[in-house]
Structure 1
Amino acid sequence: MSTLTVGTTLETIKEEIKKSNVELLHLQFVDIEGVLKHVTVTVEQLDDVVDGKIMFDGSSVAGFSPINKSDLYLLPDLNTFAVLPWSVEPNYSEGRFICSITNPDGTLFEGDPRNIMKKTIDKAAEKGYSINVGPELEFFLFKADENGLPIQETQDLGGYFETSPRDYGERVRLEIYRALKKMGFTIEASHHEVAEGQHEINFKYDNALTAADLATTYKWVVKTIARQFGLHATFMPKPIFGSNGSGMHVNISLFNNEKGSNAFFDENDPRQLSETAYQFIAGLLDNVKSFAAITNPLVNSYKRLVPGYEAPCYIAWSASNRSALIRIPAKRGIATRVEIRCPDPSANPYFAYAAIAAAGLAGVTSALEVPAEIVDDIFSMSESERTNRGIENLPTTLGEAIAELKEGTIGREVLGEHAYNEYVALKDKEWESYRMAVTEWELNRYQVKF
């Protein structure tokens, strides 16, 4: 059965459950940080599951409900049903659904990241567009101790595109690939990344909601399979000082619903980009500081966004220049897309893709004019040269990014009042905790000297 595919019916799911001897169903959702949660029920409760009758305590999930309004319900998306490959035994297996969250009266819960993504999709549809997203999530594999906790030693010493025997992660990636394929993914590439112990497995783009479901599933599968090898997989943006960090480059395009065509493509333009594409790029550049706290949500995120490690830290665009924040991959026609390179894989994909889409659409709605393309290597420019050419920096700390989020409008518009307030409060607390912490670096530098 092909999973994560539009058009899945309850009858086909029941057939697959019978064929695979599914006994348990995991009902999954994410909290406001994008962390996967689930409750497990028996397959005998399938009808109640499909009718959205499974309840949980929303007050026990950070950022969801107050204790006096804690009852929430899980409404599964039938298109997300999958049998879990690692659960399969003779006459036994487990399945999962990704769920949206509803209130007791059946209305969509405003704090659910999946529902928030749907609102952005609906707003795009009102303008005549559908949104496609293709994310690229990098991760590290670390060795683990006897308790399964990571130690600061990578699983291999390989580099970019290296092969075995230096790429010890090849076997792990193979098993991840097999699991993802069985769960309905279309895998396009798998390889070792630049840093030691760093890997990437690319899957095919899809509509924005499904892309966020796929990214969430991908992270779960990667961690699960790595654990079977006695390893710890992390999507932490910068786990090793002095090495490249992990990104989540987001490839995004708009399709014209009436024409069924890629709204970013214009064969008559010198770059074969449409006016809509240029306006979308302008919207991203205009709003990126405001949504950085969403696409790069951790204290650690800003230790990746520094010069010298390929991650973009300067606000500019280019048709091919990888030192720019936004670039346009070479393919055209139906594959024309905009790639924004600052997001990292710790981001909540539902929030991140919604914020990116909304920012670009704001540029289209306001008919913003795109600034000049930067074709030179921005990393090699002096600070004065960047200033003279109007190239600004991304926020350099989570504290700066939170301030930009509060000052801008895009975060509140995308997340809605409830999720915005909860998210900002969470990030404020995280930044304050870090700001007051005494680190090993400080002790090593100051304890003896002073």
Structure 2
Amino acid sequence: MQVFTHTPPNPEKLLNNRYRILQSIGSGGFGETFLAEDTQMPSGRRCVIKQLKPSVNRPEIYSLIQEQFRREAAILEQLGEKSDRIPRLYAYFEEEEQFYLVQEWIEGETLTTRIQRLGRLSEAEVKEILLGILPILHRIHKQGLIHRDIKPDNIILRHPSGKPVLIDFGAVKETMGTMLNSQGNPTASILIGTPGFMASEQAVGYPLYSSDLYSLGMTAIYLLTGKTIKEMNIDRETGKILWHENVPNISRNFAAILDKAIQFYPRDRFSKAEEMYAALQTLPSPIPKTEPSLPPSTIIFPKPTASPKNKTSKLQFFHQLKDWQKATLVGVLTGAILGLGIAIPLKILFQQKSSEASTLAQQSNLPMSFYFIADSAFNDPEKAEQKRQDLIENGYSDAGLFWSPNYSNWSQHNSYKVYADWFETKSECEENLPEYRQFNPSAYCGFATK
């Protein structure tokens, strides 16, 4: 059996006659990862190239690896196209008996770097990260894949949105270690995972879907404590990790969810990602990093006519107001729009002067305060409007946006908030939120007043 040695690409040579290597950004047992630029794109788009090489040089194994590599590349392509939480696969190719994946370069910082730079995260921040990752794990598991290497180094907070992105799937690397057993059948010969974040069954070569949930739970504990398992106390009789003592103010229910995720026996954990997600959803919603503790004072932009499902209740709310309340509401809105015109170009507010009357009519359908399913925030009004149009095209006819002068987003600038729907009560918003989170896992219920 001949074992390959790894020879990094010549930086003067274009990989696949297209990709120029800029620098190495990581290496492992079966290859190396590079930052590269695509010379065939006008922008010279940067990308990440994973160079993978089989562990043994045997023709019968190479063909098996080739087939499996192509199959798993197709799955990565499908996953990346459906979510911005997984790097997109731009291309894959084979060259000089090595395999290459060309993936999206995620600008941002890993959770490890974040902890090193700012210290441990709050319970609310960790919960939001989990809620962002779990729907992705659900999709991955539905494809029959197990990530195998979830850890702080493999979760990047994308800049500038701050959304978590899951990188570095272990399945393709495991394929590179394929060998034949004594019966002549293909079998994995390597162990994928990281000590301290790897479940016991995975450590002996039998990963399960719940193994990924174990790794995610250990990642959450690292984010809360700033410590790895080696730095924490262990109950010598039960083997239980005594991490609570490092986060004295953690809520009991949140701690119980993490404790269940990291149970030693798989039968005692959450068996599926959606189970852990549902458990987190039962907890009180934390105030997102971008949302102030007090309701923001908002100025409402034009909004489409209410959809049939809630038009009646919203119109009834307005008609129930007394005449002086209606007059006051219209007056406040009129003054707000006039005042806003001083700070924002009029073309952003209205394309034609004749639309002002209909705009006020639409705005009058909104109560003085309301709850909304927040989708995203933008500094650029054109991007915010484009996002609103995208939501409408996807069936969210009540999608709207508003400018908030005291509502900072991740980049700490005032923002245009885009929402998918609005409601008169918090309970209505929370009832509709789980369904919408299938469309945008980061959505949450916000509150706004005029």
Q: What range is the shorter-chain TM-score in?
A: under 0.3
Based on CA coordinates, which of the two structures has the bigger radius of gyration?
A: 2
The TM-score normalised by the length of structure 2 is 0.26
The TM-score normalised by the length of structure 1 is 0.26
The higher relative CO (CA closer than 8 Å, separation ≥ 6) is in 1
